[in-house]
Amino acid sequence: MRYRLTFIAGVALGYVLGTRAGRERYEQLKKSARQFTENPAVRNAAESAAHSGRDIAGKAYHSVSDKVGDKVPASVAERVRSLRDRSSQNGFEDDWGTTNT
């Protein structure tokens, strides 16, 4: 309940501030956000973070699979296997638009 009230308060505050700022300020914010995301340093940092996340997830998978073993249902094991095979292909691009480099 507390989180719901916080969310509603945030939406209300955003609406009030947005209506006071107007369309011109919105366009300024949109332009600066686009410039930020198109910055090569930001893109490289995001891609390295995604790559590190995939590496850590792979290590966690092996650690958990050693401990869990055959206790996982066959349908779950097959789904994990297919995801692992798909991500190991060269040139794979994930849903976020980052590449496996």
Distances (CA, A) of 6 to 10, 17, 20, 53, 98: 6, 16, 21, 30, 33
Mean pLDDT over each residue of the chain, to the nearest integer: 79
Higher-pLDDT residue of 25 and 51 is 51
Beta bridge partners of 93: 99
Residue 93's pLDDT band, with cuts at 50, 70 and 90, is: low
Q: Calculate mean pLDDT across residues 18-45.
A: 86
Residue 88's pLDDT band, with cuts at 50, 70 and 90, is: low
Residue 66's pLDDT band, with cuts at 50, 70 and 90, is: confident
Tell me how far apart the terminal alpha carbons of the chain are, to the nearest angstrom.
43
* 84-91 contact pairs (CB < 8 A, 24+): 87/54
